[in-house]
């Protein structure tokens, strides 16, 4: 049949490119102490940009997990079936140590190297990053039960994806999850009603044994091997390690009632769970459950910021790529001044988020090495950045999507997937308000955190008077740290940190545009910055900013 028309003015597929070709990320990787990991990150970046990995990410999302509560004979099995592509993605992530490498590597920068791997590989699919993140995060909490840590940490850190439900000691590699949220309380975990009853005289596995009974409303990655669970013990809310399969090979009393039909994150399973006399081992002291599990939450919060940075970078890459090839009204979209303003604004947001994420990964690394100042800095900076970066994500995804016009609204473009994923990190591990209130708590109750945070801002003093003035205004604002203003203050702190990092280490053109738009006091002008993306001050070198974000294929 003769063709009816010629297809033209469409961009080439963005495939076969290097996801790690990301100047803000690469310089942060080196600056935060992991230059030694650069080659490995580049390898993973090329893999992430390959047609095969992209197809696997797509397939894992198109074929979401399926719950099988019973086998064909009626036995309860509570298993979740995944598409083979999911297993492939997990295999790569674990082979590259994204779930645990820093726990077996004493080199300075190990957490930063892992952060970079997580950041580039996450571009393939966000869903499978959930169990990867929780496995990484469980270790500091687990160490509150040294015998359990000795027993399971080597298996959690093993670089093997060993799928299937078997006793944890018999597997080549383990995955972890967390089970806190209940129907009546997620943020307010003290409202948990799951009960933990001690098993008299049982010290098996090095931790006192308990039987847990109750329900959990949101437990992701339920095909994991070990779960950190909060439950009410005789002395109060406590933290437990719960094996999916008991050491004797029998299935533990962990029944999956149903899987959530989620907005996004569709490759990943999130279950409603009933615990029925499920065996679990105490981690930390009875009654100190929140204090123990917060060590896990603190690690996953870093991944919320990293994952958000990945989503933004991916969206910007897709948008700049499209605009570099698509012509409208006689010019490439990227050369239309208003589209250039939009793309540059999106790119600035993405670079600022990446820089903050890597600064926090560096702080994680140094804090793990015993640096108390960095731990104090991280405490406040992570809460504020978690709040602000995640809060920016949905609007960023929507705007990037629009750069592709109608194509951006179509699944094949990849944009709808990014858009649906975008609100997640803001809800998980401390929803917006909770994260902002946490930043406020650190500010007001942990003076060493506030001190470390402002010392970090101080390092940029004198480099840009607009930033200096913004920091001075921020200090003044902080004199009224009332709860109702927590969002405003967390936003201010996060913006000041991003500005300070950009001014010290960023590309000057990006730093200048960021400070001019996000931090400069607009007095004297009509307004410094509009409320939508694409409202940068005139004179911004948008072309130079866009160049940094346009992928080479």
Ligand X SMILES: Cc1cc2nc3c(=O)[nH]c(=O)nc-3n(C[C@H](O)[C@H](O)[C@H](O)COP(=O)(O)OP(=O)(O)OC[C@H]3O[C@@H](n4cnc5c(N)ncnc54)[C@H](O)[C@@H]3O)c2cc1C
Closest CA to 267 of 121, 537, 520, 60: 60
Largest CA distance in the chain: 82
In the complex, minimum distance from the CB of residue 351 to ligand X, in angstroms, rounded to a whole number: 27
Q: Which of 180, 302, 316, 400 binds ligand X (CB under 6 A)?
A: 180
Does 517 contact ligand X by CB under 6 A? no
In the complex, minimum distance from the CB of residue 122 to ligand X, in angstroms, rounded to a whole number: 15
Determine the Cα–Cα distance for residues 156 and 54; give it in Å rounded to an integer: 27
* Closer of 153 and 272 to ligand X (Cβ): 272
* Closer of 219 and 385 to ligand X (Cβ): 219
* Closer of 218 and 358 to ligand X (Cβ): 218
In the complex, minimum distance from the CB of residue 435 to ligand X, in angstroms, rounded to a whole number: 8
Q: Which of 131, 173, 186, 492 binds ligand X (CB under 6 A)?
A: 186
**Which one of the spans 181-189, 355-363, 405-413, 512-520 is the region binding ligand X (CB under 6 A)?**
181-189
Determine phi and psi for 56, rounding to 5 degrees: -65, -40
The number of beta carbons lying within 10 Å of the beta carbon of residue 94 is: 23
Angle at 41 between CA 40 and CA 45, to 5 degrees: 120
* Closer of 43 and 427 to ligand X (Cβ): 427
Does 181 contact ligand X by CB under 6 A? yes
Burial class (CB in 10 A: 0-12, 13-18, 19+), 170: exposed
* Closer of 321 and 391 to ligand X (Cβ): 391
Determine the Cα–Cα distance for residues 17 and 491; give it in Å rounded to an integer: 34
* Closer of 210 and 428 to ligand X (Cβ): 428
**Number of residues engaging ligand X in binding (CB under 6 A):** 22
Burial class (CB in 10 A: 0-12, 13-18, 19+), 77: middle
Determine the Cα–Cα distance for residues 270 and 275; give it in Å rounded to an integer: 15
The SS3 of residue 196 is: strand
CB closest to ligand X, residue no: 186
* Closer of 282 and 424 to ligand X (Cβ): 424
Residues 397-436 that bind ligand X (CB under 6 A): 424, 427-428, 431-434
Does 474 contact ligand X by CB under 6 A? no
Does 296 contact ligand X by CB under 6 A? no
In the complex, minimum distance from the CB of residue 192 to ligand X, in angstroms, rounded to a whole number: 10
* Closer of 173 and 186 to ligand X (Cβ): 186
The two tokens of residue 316 are: 């910007």
In the complex, minimum distance from the CB of residue 105 to ligand X, in angstroms, rounded to a whole number: 26
Q: Which residues pair with 251 in a beta bridge?
A: 245
Does 265 contact ligand X by CB under 6 A? yes
How distant is the alpha carbon of residue 322 from its chain centre? 26
Does 257 contact ligand X by CB under 6 A? no
**Which one of the spans 32-40, 185-193, 231-239, 471-479 is the region binding ligand X (CB under 6 A)?**
185-193
Does 178 contact ligand X by CB under 6 A? yes
The DSSP-derived string for 142-191 is HTTSHHHHHHHHHHHH-S----S---GGGSSS--EEEE--BTTBSS-GGG
In the complex, minimum distance from the CB of residue 449 to ligand X, in angstroms, rounded to a whole number: 20
SS (H, E, C) 211-246: EEEEEEEEEECCCCCEEEEEEEECCEEEEEEEECEC
Determine the Cα–Cα distance for residues 258 and 263; give it in Å rounded to an integer: 16
201 within 8 A of 254, measured Cβ to Cβ: no
Does 446 contact ligand X by CB under 6 A? no
Does 118 contact ligand X by CB under 6 A? no
In the complex, minimum distance from the CB of residue 384 to ligand X, in angstroms, rounded to a whole number: 15
* Closer of 179 and 317 to ligand X (Cβ): 179
In the complex, minimum distance from the CB of residue 188 to ligand X, in angstroms, rounded to a whole number: 6
In the complex, minimum distance from the CB of residue 433 to ligand X, in angstroms, rounded to a whole number: 3
* Closer of 261 and 412 to ligand X (Cβ): 261
Determine phi and psi for 146, rounding to 5 degrees: -55, -35
88 within 8 A of 111, measured Cβ to Cβ: no
* Closer of 19 and 422 to ligand X (Cβ): 422
* Closer of 90 and 178 to ligand X (Cβ): 178
Residues 199-228 that bind ligand X (CB under 6 A): 218-220
450 within 8 A of 415, measured Cβ to Cβ: no
Q: Which of 30, 42, 87, 262 binds ligand X (CB under 6 A)?
A: 262
In the complex, minimum distance from the CB of residue 64 to ligand X, in angstroms, rounded to a whole number: 13
Strands (E), 393-509: none
Residues 6+ apart with CB under 8 A from 465: none
Residues contributing to the site for ligand X (CB under 6 A): 177-181, 185-188, 218-220, 262, 265, 270, 424, 427-428, 431-434
């Amino acid at each position: 049949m003769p063709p009816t028309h010629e297809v033209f003015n469409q961009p080439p597929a963005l495939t076969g490119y290097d996801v790690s070709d990301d100047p803000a990320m690469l310089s942060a990787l080196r600056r935060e102490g992991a230059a030694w990991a650069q080659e490995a990150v580049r390898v993973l970046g090329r893999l992430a940009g390959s047609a095969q990995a992209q197809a696997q990410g797509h397939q894992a999302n198109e074929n979401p997990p399926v719950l099988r509560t019973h086998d064909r004979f009626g036995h309860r099995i509570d298993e979740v079936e995944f598409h083979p592509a999911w297993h492939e993605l997990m295999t790569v992530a674990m082979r590259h140590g994204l779930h645990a490498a820093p726990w077996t590597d004493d080199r300075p920068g190990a957490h930063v190297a892992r952060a970079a791997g997580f950041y580039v590989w996450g571009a393939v699919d966000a869903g499978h990053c959930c169990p990867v993140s929780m496995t990484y995060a469980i270790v500091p909490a687990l160490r509150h039960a040294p015998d359990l840590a000795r027993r399971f940490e080597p298996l959690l850190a093993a670089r093997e994806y060993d799928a299937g439900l078997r006793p944890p000691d018999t597997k080549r590699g383990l995955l972890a999850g967390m089970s806190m949220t209940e129907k009546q309380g997620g943020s307010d975990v003290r409202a948990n009603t799951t009960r933990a009853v001690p098993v008299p005289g049982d010290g098996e596995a090095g931790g006192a044994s308990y039987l847990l009974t109750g329900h959990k409303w949101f437990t992701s990655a339920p095909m994991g091997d070990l779960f950190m669970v909060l439950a009410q013990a005789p002395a109060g809310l406590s933290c437990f390690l719960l094996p999916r399969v008991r050491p004797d090979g029998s299935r533990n009393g962990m029944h999956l009632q149903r899987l959530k039909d989620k907005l996004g994150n569709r490759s990943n399973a999130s279950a409603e769970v009933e615990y029925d006399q499920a065996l679990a081992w105490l981690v930390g002291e009875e009654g100190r459950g929140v204090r123990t599990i917060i060590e896990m939450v603190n690690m996953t919060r870093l991944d919320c910021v990293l994952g958000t940075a990945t989503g933004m970078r991916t969206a910007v890459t897709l948008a700049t790529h499209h605009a570099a090839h698509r012509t409208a009204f006689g010019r490439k979209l990227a050369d239309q001044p208003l589209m250039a303003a939009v793309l540059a604004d999106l790119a600035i947001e993405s670079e600022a988020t990446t820089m903050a994420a890597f600064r926090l990964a560096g702080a994680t690394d140094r804090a793990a090495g015993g640096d108390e100042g960095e731990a104090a800095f991280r405490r406040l900076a992570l809460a504020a950045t978690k709040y602000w970066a995640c809060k920016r994500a949905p609007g960023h995804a929507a705007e990037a999507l629009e750069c592709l016009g109608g194509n951006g609204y179509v699944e094949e473009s990849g944009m709808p997937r990014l858009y649906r994923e975008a609100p997640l990190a803001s809800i998980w591990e401390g929803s917006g308000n909770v994260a902002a209130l946490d930043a406020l708590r650190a500010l007001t109750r942990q003076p060493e955190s506030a001190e470390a945070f402002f010392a970090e801002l101080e390092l940029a003093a004198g480099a840009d008077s607009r930033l200096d003035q913004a920091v001075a205004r921020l200090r003044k604002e902080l004199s009224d740290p009332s709860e109702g203003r927590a969002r405003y203050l967390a936003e201010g702190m996060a913006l000041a940190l991003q500005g300070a990092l950009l001014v010290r280490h960023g590309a000057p053109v990006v730093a200048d545009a960021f400070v001019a738009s996000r931090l400069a006091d607009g007095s004297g002008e009509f307004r410094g910055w509009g409320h939508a993306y694409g409202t940068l001050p005139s004179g911004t070198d948008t072309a130079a900013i866009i160049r940094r974000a346009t992928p080479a294929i």
